[in-house]
Amino acid sequence: MTVPERSWVEISLSAIAENYRAVANLVGPDVVIAPVVKADAYRHGAIEAGRVLEAEGAQWFAVSNTSEGLALREGGIQARILVMADFPEASALGFTPVVHSLEAIGRVARGAPYHLKLDTGMGRLGTRASRHEIVAAVAAHPPEGLMTHFATSADYIGSQTAEQIAAFEETLAALRKAGIEPRYVHCSSTIPIAYGRREAWHNMVRPGMAIYGYVSPARGDAPPRQLRVRPALTWRAAILDTKDVPKGARIGYGGGFITPRAMRIGILSTGYADGLPHHWRAPGRVIAAGQWAPILGAVSMDLTTVDLTAAAHSKPGDFVTIIGRDGDLIQDAQQLARDAGTISYSLLCGIHPRVRRVYVP
Protein backbone atom coordinates (compact mmCIF):
# COMPACT_ATOMS: atom_id res chain seq x y z
CA MET A 1 0.00 0.00 0.00
CA THR A 2 1.24 3.48 -0.87
CA VAL A 3 0.90 5.66 2.21
CA PRO A 4 -0.97 8.92 1.52
CA GLU A 5 0.77 12.11 2.54
CA ARG A 6 -1.35 13.71 5.25
CA SER A 7 -4.47 12.08 6.73
CA TRP A 8 -6.18 8.91 5.59
CA VAL A 9 -8.49 6.13 6.68
CA GLU A 10 -7.94 2.46 6.00
CA ILE A 11 -11.20 0.52 5.65
CA SER A 12 -11.17 -3.24 6.02
CA LEU A 13 -13.62 -4.79 3.59
CA SER A 14 -13.21 -8.17 5.27
CA ALA A 15 -14.31 -6.64 8.59
CA ILE A 16 -17.48 -5.29 6.95
CA ALA A 17 -18.18 -8.74 5.48
CA GLU A 18 -17.53 -10.45 8.83
CA ASN A 19 -19.81 -8.02 10.64
CA TYR A 20 -22.62 -8.70 8.18
CA ARG A 21 -22.17 -12.43 8.66
CA ALA A 22 -22.27 -11.97 12.44
CA VAL A 23 -25.64 -10.24 12.13
CA ALA A 24 -26.91 -12.90 9.72
CA ASN A 25 -25.84 -15.72 12.01
CA LEU A 26 -27.59 -14.09 14.96
CA VAL A 27 -30.94 -13.25 13.35
CA GLY A 28 -31.13 -16.44 11.28
CA PRO A 29 -32.18 -17.14 7.69
CA ASP A 30 -35.82 -16.10 8.12
CA VAL A 31 -34.94 -12.47 8.86
CA VAL A 32 -34.03 -10.18 5.95
CA ILE A 33 -31.09 -7.83 6.59
CA ALA A 34 -31.20 -4.31 5.15
CA PRO A 35 -27.79 -2.76 5.94
CA VAL A 36 -27.98 0.99 6.45
CA VAL A 37 -25.51 2.68 4.10
CA LYS A 38 -26.69 6.28 4.41
CA ALA A 39 -24.16 9.09 4.87
CA ASP A 40 -21.77 7.23 2.54
CA ALA A 41 -21.99 4.16 4.78
CA TYR A 42 -21.15 6.27 7.83
CA ARG A 43 -18.14 7.50 5.81
CA HIS A 44 -16.88 4.00 5.10
CA GLY A 45 -17.81 4.31 1.41
CA ALA A 46 -21.31 3.27 0.41
CA ILE A 47 -20.38 1.84 -2.98
CA GLU A 48 -17.40 -0.16 -1.71
CA ALA A 49 -19.28 -1.38 1.36
CA GLY A 50 -22.37 -2.07 -0.74
CA ARG A 51 -20.48 -4.27 -3.16
CA VAL A 52 -19.05 -6.34 -0.32
CA LEU A 53 -22.42 -6.62 1.42
CA GLU A 54 -24.23 -7.55 -1.78
CA ALA A 55 -21.65 -10.27 -2.38
CA GLU A 56 -22.41 -11.53 1.14
CA GLY A 57 -26.09 -11.83 0.25
CA ALA A 58 -27.65 -8.47 1.13
CA GLN A 59 -30.82 -8.04 -0.92
CA TRP A 60 -31.79 -4.65 0.52
CA PHE A 61 -30.00 -1.44 1.42
CA ALA A 62 -31.41 1.44 3.45
CA VAL A 63 -30.49 5.02 2.54
CA SER A 64 -31.70 8.44 3.57
CA ASN A 65 -32.47 10.01 0.20
CA THR A 66 -32.72 9.36 -3.50
CA SER A 67 -29.29 10.81 -4.24
CA GLU A 68 -27.73 8.11 -2.07
CA GLY A 69 -29.78 5.50 -3.88
CA LEU A 70 -28.66 6.78 -7.28
CA ALA A 71 -25.03 6.63 -6.17
CA LEU A 72 -25.46 2.96 -5.30
CA ARG A 73 -27.03 2.22 -8.67
CA GLU A 74 -24.24 4.05 -10.47
CA GLY A 75 -21.79 1.94 -8.49
CA GLY A 76 -23.39 -1.23 -9.81
CA ILE A 77 -25.49 -2.19 -6.77
CA GLN A 78 -28.52 -4.22 -7.84
CA ALA A 79 -30.21 -4.88 -4.48
CA ARG A 80 -33.45 -3.18 -3.56
CA ILE A 81 -33.10 0.26 -2.02
CA LEU A 82 -35.28 1.56 0.79
CA VAL A 83 -35.38 5.37 0.87
CA MET A 84 -36.15 6.21 4.49
CA ALA A 85 -36.43 10.00 4.58
CA ASP A 86 -36.57 11.73 1.18
CA PHE A 87 -39.83 10.54 -0.35
CA PRO A 88 -40.23 12.49 -3.67
CA GLU A 89 -39.34 10.61 -6.86
CA ALA A 90 -38.21 7.45 -5.06
CA SER A 91 -40.72 5.18 -6.78
CA ALA A 92 -40.09 6.74 -10.19
CA LEU A 93 -36.40 5.97 -9.78
CA GLY A 94 -37.08 2.33 -8.95
CA PHE A 95 -36.53 2.65 -5.21
CA THR A 96 -38.91 1.72 -2.41
CA PRO A 97 -40.04 4.81 -0.49
CA VAL A 98 -40.86 4.99 3.17
CA VAL A 99 -44.14 6.90 3.50
CA HIS A 100 -44.55 8.96 6.66
CA SER A 101 -48.14 10.15 6.45
CA LEU A 102 -51.45 8.73 5.29
CA GLU A 103 -51.87 11.62 2.87
CA ALA A 104 -48.64 10.70 1.12
CA ILE A 105 -49.88 7.21 0.23
CA GLY A 106 -51.85 8.76 -2.60
CA ARG A 107 -48.64 10.10 -4.12
CA VAL A 108 -47.22 6.60 -4.54
CA ALA A 109 -48.08 5.18 -7.95
CA ARG A 110 -50.82 2.55 -7.70
CA GLY A 111 -49.18 -0.85 -7.51
CA ALA A 112 -45.77 0.54 -6.57
CA PRO A 113 -44.40 -0.88 -3.30
CA TYR A 114 -43.92 1.36 -0.29
CA HIS A 115 -43.23 0.94 3.40
CA LEU A 116 -45.38 2.80 5.91
CA LYS A 117 -43.61 4.23 8.93
CA LEU A 118 -45.38 4.59 12.25
CA ASP A 119 -44.34 7.20 14.79
CA THR A 120 -44.73 5.05 17.89
CA GLY A 121 -42.96 7.47 20.20
CA MET A 122 -39.81 8.79 18.50
CA GLY A 123 -41.50 12.05 17.56
CA ARG A 124 -39.81 12.31 14.16
CA LEU A 125 -41.01 10.99 10.80
CA GLY A 126 -43.95 8.59 10.73
CA THR A 127 -47.70 8.73 11.02
CA ARG A 128 -49.35 9.14 14.41
CA ALA A 129 -52.79 8.28 13.04
CA SER A 130 -54.94 5.79 14.90
CA ARG A 131 -54.85 2.17 13.85
CA HIS A 132 -58.42 2.50 12.55
CA GLU A 133 -57.45 5.46 10.36
CA ILE A 134 -54.41 3.56 9.08
CA VAL A 135 -56.44 0.47 8.16
CA ALA A 136 -58.92 2.61 6.23
CA ALA A 137 -56.21 4.62 4.47
CA VAL A 138 -54.18 1.65 3.21
CA ALA A 139 -57.06 -0.63 2.23
CA ALA A 140 -56.94 0.33 -1.46
CA HIS A 141 -53.12 0.31 -1.65
CA PRO A 142 -51.62 -1.84 1.11
CA PRO A 143 -48.02 -1.26 2.15
CA GLU A 144 -45.35 -3.79 1.28
CA GLY A 145 -43.69 -3.01 4.61
CA LEU A 146 -44.56 -1.65 8.04
CA MET A 147 -41.84 -0.09 10.17
CA THR A 148 -40.98 2.13 13.11
CA HIS A 149 -37.82 3.37 14.81
CA PHE A 150 -36.95 3.22 18.50
CA ALA A 151 -35.86 6.32 20.40
CA THR A 152 -34.16 4.71 23.42
CA SER A 153 -33.40 1.13 22.49
CA ALA A 154 -30.15 1.07 24.52
CA ASP A 155 -32.03 2.12 27.65
CA TYR A 156 -33.08 -0.85 29.77
CA ILE A 157 -34.04 1.40 32.67
CA GLY A 158 -37.08 3.14 31.20
CA SER A 159 -40.10 1.64 29.45
CA GLN A 160 -40.17 3.66 26.23
CA THR A 161 -38.99 0.88 23.93
CA ALA A 162 -41.51 -1.58 25.35
CA GLU A 163 -44.22 1.03 24.89
CA GLN A 164 -43.17 1.61 21.29
CA ILE A 165 -43.22 -2.13 20.58
CA ALA A 166 -46.71 -2.41 22.06
CA ALA A 167 -48.00 0.50 19.97
CA PHE A 168 -46.49 -0.99 16.82
CA GLU A 169 -47.96 -4.42 17.53
CA GLU A 170 -51.43 -2.95 18.00
CA THR A 171 -51.37 -1.41 14.53
CA LEU A 172 -49.87 -4.52 12.97
CA ALA A 173 -52.58 -6.66 14.56
CA ALA A 174 -55.28 -4.29 13.28
CA LEU A 175 -53.91 -4.54 9.75
CA ARG A 176 -53.80 -8.32 9.91
CA LYS A 177 -57.34 -8.48 11.28
CA ALA A 178 -58.42 -6.47 8.23
CA GLY A 179 -56.67 -8.96 5.94
CA ILE A 180 -53.69 -6.70 5.24
CA GLU A 181 -50.39 -8.53 5.71
CA PRO A 182 -47.23 -6.48 5.09
CA ARG A 183 -44.55 -8.62 3.53
CA TYR A 184 -41.79 -6.90 5.50
CA VAL A 185 -42.15 -5.85 9.13
CA HIS A 186 -39.19 -4.07 10.71
CA CYS A 187 -38.34 -2.05 13.80
CA SER A 188 -34.80 -2.96 14.79
CA SER A 189 -31.52 -1.23 14.14
CA THR A 190 -28.22 -2.29 15.74
CA ILE A 191 -29.09 -2.19 19.45
CA PRO A 192 -32.21 -4.41 19.47
CA ILE A 193 -30.30 -6.88 17.30
CA ALA A 194 -27.17 -6.92 19.42
CA TYR A 195 -28.96 -7.33 22.75
CA GLY A 196 -31.38 -9.94 21.50
CA ARG A 197 -34.68 -8.07 21.68
CA ARG A 198 -36.19 -10.71 19.41
CA GLU A 199 -39.77 -9.54 19.76
CA ALA A 200 -38.73 -6.45 17.81
CA TRP A 201 -36.92 -8.23 14.97
CA HIS A 202 -39.95 -9.48 13.02
CA ASN A 203 -38.77 -10.53 9.53
CA MET A 204 -36.45 -7.63 8.65
CA VAL A 205 -33.75 -5.71 10.53
CA ARG A 206 -31.82 -2.55 9.68
CA PRO A 207 -28.29 -2.73 11.16
CA GLY A 208 -26.22 0.40 10.78
CA MET A 209 -23.26 0.82 13.14
CA ALA A 210 -22.96 -2.94 13.65
CA ILE A 211 -21.99 -3.33 10.00
CA TYR A 212 -19.07 -0.98 10.59
CA GLY A 213 -18.01 -2.61 13.83
CA TYR A 214 -19.72 -0.81 16.70
CA VAL A 215 -22.43 -1.56 19.26
CA SER A 216 -23.22 1.14 21.80
CA PRO A 217 -23.26 0.05 25.44
CA ALA A 218 -26.66 -0.51 26.99
CA ARG A 219 -27.87 1.22 30.13
CA GLY A 220 -29.54 -0.54 33.02
CA ASP A 221 -30.23 -4.22 33.48
CA ALA A 222 -29.62 -5.25 29.86
CA PRO A 223 -29.29 -8.86 28.77
CA PRO A 224 -25.84 -10.05 27.67
CA ARG A 225 -24.76 -8.70 24.31
CA GLN A 226 -25.17 -11.37 21.65
CA LEU A 227 -23.47 -9.68 18.70
CA ARG A 228 -19.69 -9.38 18.33
CA VAL A 229 -18.32 -7.16 15.60
CA ARG A 230 -15.03 -5.38 14.94
CA PRO A 231 -14.36 -1.84 13.70
CA ALA A 232 -13.66 -1.66 9.99
CA LEU A 233 -12.05 1.80 9.94
CA THR A 234 -8.56 2.89 10.98
CA TRP A 235 -7.70 6.60 10.86
CA ARG A 236 -4.11 7.76 10.62
CA ALA A 237 -2.31 11.06 10.08
CA ALA A 238 1.25 12.02 9.19
CA ILE A 239 3.57 13.91 11.50
CA LEU A 240 4.52 17.14 9.72
CA ASP A 241 7.08 18.38 12.21
CA THR A 242 8.58 17.70 15.62
CA LYS A 243 10.30 20.04 18.03
CA ASP A 244 11.45 20.37 21.60
CA VAL A 245 9.76 23.03 23.72
CA PRO A 246 10.66 24.17 27.25
CA LYS A 247 8.54 24.18 30.35
CA GLY A 248 6.05 27.05 30.24
CA ALA A 249 5.63 27.12 26.44
CA ARG A 250 2.15 28.05 25.17
CA ILE A 251 0.64 25.68 22.63
CA GLY A 252 -2.12 26.43 20.12
CA TYR A 253 -4.68 29.16 19.54
CA GLY A 254 -5.37 31.17 22.65
CA GLY A 255 -2.35 29.67 24.37
CA GLY A 256 -4.77 27.32 26.05
CA PHE A 257 -2.13 24.77 26.99
CA ILE A 258 1.05 25.62 28.89
CA THR A 259 3.66 22.89 29.02
CA PRO A 260 4.22 21.69 32.61
CA ARG A 261 7.69 20.45 31.68
CA ALA A 262 10.05 20.29 28.72
CA MET A 263 8.35 18.31 25.96
CA ARG A 264 8.91 16.78 22.58
CA ILE A 265 5.90 17.78 20.52
CA GLY A 266 4.61 16.72 17.15
CA ILE A 267 2.40 18.62 14.71
CA LEU A 268 -0.06 16.36 12.91
CA SER A 269 -1.42 16.97 9.45
CA THR A 270 -5.07 16.78 10.46
CA GLY A 271 -7.57 19.01 12.21
CA TYR A 272 -11.22 19.86 12.53
CA ALA A 273 -11.57 20.40 8.77
CA ASP A 274 -10.76 16.69 8.48
CA GLY A 275 -13.31 15.73 11.11
CA LEU A 276 -11.45 15.83 14.42
CA PRO A 277 -13.73 17.32 17.09
CA HIS A 278 -12.72 20.93 17.68
CA HIS A 279 -13.25 20.55 21.42
CA TRP A 280 -11.06 17.45 21.69
CA ARG A 281 -8.80 18.06 24.67
CA ALA A 282 -7.15 16.05 27.41
CA PRO A 283 -7.62 13.18 28.07
CA GLY A 284 -7.80 12.96 24.28
CA ARG A 285 -4.82 11.24 22.71
CA VAL A 286 -3.51 9.44 19.64
CA ILE A 287 -1.09 6.55 19.35
CA ALA A 288 2.45 7.25 18.13
CA ALA A 289 4.89 4.38 17.65
CA GLY A 290 2.87 2.22 20.02
CA GLN A 291 2.77 4.89 22.76
CA TRP A 292 0.04 7.26 23.89
CA ALA A 293 0.53 10.81 22.65
CA PRO A 294 -1.85 13.27 24.39
CA ILE A 295 -3.49 16.16 22.55
CA LEU A 296 -2.00 19.56 23.46
CA GLY A 297 -4.02 22.75 23.11
CA ALA A 298 -6.82 23.40 20.68
CA VAL A 299 -7.38 21.36 17.55
CA SER A 300 -6.81 23.69 14.57
CA MET A 301 -8.44 23.57 11.17
CA ASP A 302 -5.66 21.57 9.50
CA LEU A 303 -3.24 20.79 12.33
CA THR A 304 -3.19 19.18 15.76
CA THR A 305 -0.36 19.20 18.30
CA VAL A 306 0.47 16.17 20.45
CA ASP A 307 2.97 15.27 23.15
CA LEU A 308 5.54 12.91 21.62
CA THR A 309 7.70 12.67 24.75
CA ALA A 310 6.90 8.96 25.13
CA ALA A 311 7.68 8.38 21.45
CA ALA A 312 10.55 10.82 21.14
CA HIS A 313 12.14 8.97 18.22
CA SER A 314 9.10 9.76 16.03
CA LYS A 315 10.02 12.04 13.14
CA PRO A 316 8.36 13.95 10.32
CA GLY A 317 6.89 11.54 7.82
CA ASP A 318 5.94 8.99 10.45
CA PHE A 319 2.26 8.52 11.24
CA VAL A 320 0.05 8.44 14.29
CA THR A 321 -3.12 6.41 14.76
CA ILE A 322 -6.26 8.35 15.62
CA ILE A 323 -8.63 5.38 15.46
CA GLY A 324 -7.31 1.83 15.32
CA ARG A 325 -4.45 -0.28 16.61
CA ASP A 326 -0.75 0.50 16.86
CA GLY A 327 1.35 -2.03 18.71
CA ASP A 328 -0.45 -3.10 21.86
CA LEU A 329 -2.63 -0.01 22.03
CA ILE A 330 -6.11 0.40 20.55
CA GLN A 331 -8.39 3.42 20.34
CA ASP A 332 -11.82 3.04 18.80
CA ALA A 333 -14.36 5.68 17.76
CA GLN A 334 -16.38 5.22 20.93
CA GLN A 335 -13.40 5.99 23.19
CA LEU A 336 -12.36 9.02 21.14
CA ALA A 337 -15.94 10.28 21.08
CA ARG A 338 -16.27 9.98 24.86
CA ASP A 339 -13.07 11.97 25.34
CA ALA A 340 -14.30 14.63 22.92
CA GLY A 341 -17.78 14.89 24.42
CA THR A 342 -19.58 13.59 21.34
CA ILE A 343 -20.89 10.27 20.00
CA SER A 344 -19.24 7.72 17.74
CA TYR A 345 -21.92 8.19 15.05
CA SER A 346 -21.13 11.90 14.76
CA LEU A 347 -17.40 11.26 14.84
CA LEU A 348 -17.40 8.69 12.03
CA CYS A 349 -19.90 10.59 9.88
CA GLY A 350 -17.83 13.72 10.37
CA ILE A 351 -14.68 12.37 8.74
CA HIS A 352 -14.37 14.73 5.79
CA PRO A 353 -14.16 13.47 2.19
CA ARG A 354 -10.75 15.15 1.86
CA VAL A 355 -9.44 12.41 4.16
CA ARG A 356 -8.39 9.81 1.63
CA ARG A 357 -10.04 6.39 1.81
CA VAL A 358 -7.77 3.38 1.35
CA TYR A 359 -9.52 0.01 1.06
CA VAL A 360 -7.72 -3.02 2.40
CA PRO A 361 -8.72 -6.71 2.49
Catalytic residue list contains 184: no
How far lies 345's CA from each of 169, 280, 286, in Å? 29, 16, 19
CA–CA distance, 322 with 61 (Å, rounded to integer): 29
CA–CA distance, 331 with 321 (Å, rounded to integer): 8
For residue 320, give the nearest of 356, 267, 281 by alpha carbon.
Answer: 267
Based on its alpha-carbon atoms, the radius of gyration of the chain, rounded to whole angstroms, reads 23
Catalytic residue list contains 315: no
243, 247, 253, 315: which one is catalytic?
Answer: 253
Identify whether the C-beta of residue 37 lies closer than 8 Å to the C-beta of residue 61.
yes
Query: What is the maximum alpha-carbon separation in the chain?
Result: 78
What H or E segment, with its residue span, contains residue 10?
strand 7-12
Identify whether the C-beta of residue 240 lies closer than 8 Å to the C-beta of residue 268.
yes
20, 38, 117, 212: which one is catalytic?
Answer: 38
Identify whether the C-beta of residue 35 lies closer than 8 Å to the C-beta of residue 268.
no
Q: Strand 184-188 vs strand 204-205: parallel, antiparallel, or unpaired?
A: parallel
Q: How many C-beta atoms surround the C-beta of residue 342 within 10 A?
A: 16
Catalytic amino acids? 38, 253
